[in-house]
Amino acid sequence: MNDKVIAYQGVEGAYSHLACKNVFPKSISIACESFEDAMNLVENETADFAMIPVENSTAGRVEEIYRLIPKSSLFIVSEHFEPVNHCLLGVKDSKLEDIKYVGSHPQALAQCYKNIIDLNLTAVAKFDTAGSAREIQEKNNQNFGAIASKLAAELYDLKVLKEYFGDLKGNVTRFIILSRKNIIPDFEKDKEYITSLIFHVRDIPAALYKALGGFATNGVNLLKLESYSMTGSLQVSRFHIDIEAHPEEKRLKLALDELKYFAKEIKYLGIYEKHKGRENYKLL
């Protein structure tokens, strides 16, 4: 999937930009102001794929994405796990003791909370990590720092005051790669797959229990179960599930048959290979 155009949210140097470079090293990356803008570029055929973060091992899920995906016409075609090495950055002539304020995306601030408190810094929420790095470059004030990647430090000529600034080692963000084409891999017995879909249950007693029961009785593992209220209602919930199986497997076919009986408006988000290094990462 090289030589493609990849859209991501943020500015140059963001972790999403770094993920694009690692997954698509020979492709063009386009920075977008919002996740929705990045997804729209794929929908209108300006970009081939969108690199979208969905959860982090320290700070949890990116809630906005779960609101956008049901409204989108895009499909998940792959997943990627990007190790996150937060760095405390400052302008070239600054020292660690000079920093009084630190800016970054709220997710990054949450992932560095203990270190921020230990240094008695005032956290300032910004739109994204790399944007905060660009901002302190423009301010050129020794009292202002940013939490961002080493790539951002290189791009904006900043000083790394403290590497590995995150509170926990092994911090990682899971990305999904979205395409306007539903690229479904053929089932191969020696490979592992994920089937992602969303649904809401029928208005009957214990509907969710019954809808999910087919996965248990057929030995199908659920990697993720997310629930959130549907737009305009606090009574009806939509459920997002990631299933550890391919629809061509008999056990999943049987489980989906039971799901169809107790659920409605089932929408398939994508069928894709399970990331080979997934077992190395522990997500919330």
Interval 227-256 mean pLDDT: 84
- Its pTM stands at 0.87
Domain boundaries along the sequence of the chain: 5-83+172-179, 87-162, 193-274
Task: Locate all alpha helices (DSSP H) within the chain, ordered by sequence.
Answer: 15-23, 35-43, 63-68, 106-111, 113-118, 129-139, 150-155, 207-217, 250-262
Determine the pLDDT at residue 161: 97
Residue of 35, 165, 175, 215 marked active site? 175
Task: Please say whether the structural domain 87-162 has been given the CATH code 3.40.190.10.
Answer: yes
Determine the pLDDT at residue 235: 58
Contact yes or no for 212/255 (Cβ under 8 A): no
Q: Tens digits of per-residue pLDDT, 96-107?
A: 999 999 999 898
Quote the mean pLDDT of the chain: 91
Same fold, 5-83+172-179 and 87-162: yes
Active-site residue, 173 included: yes
Task: Please say whether the structural domain 193-274 has been given the CATH code 3.30.70.260.
Answer: yes
Residue of 173, 195, 215, 239 marked active site? 173
With 80 as the cut, is the pLDDT of residue 281 above it? no
Indicate the pLDDT class of residue 233, thresholds 50, 70 and 90: low
CATH architecture of the domain with residue range 5-83+172-179: 3-Layer(aba) Sandwich (3.40)
Active-site residue, 49 included: no
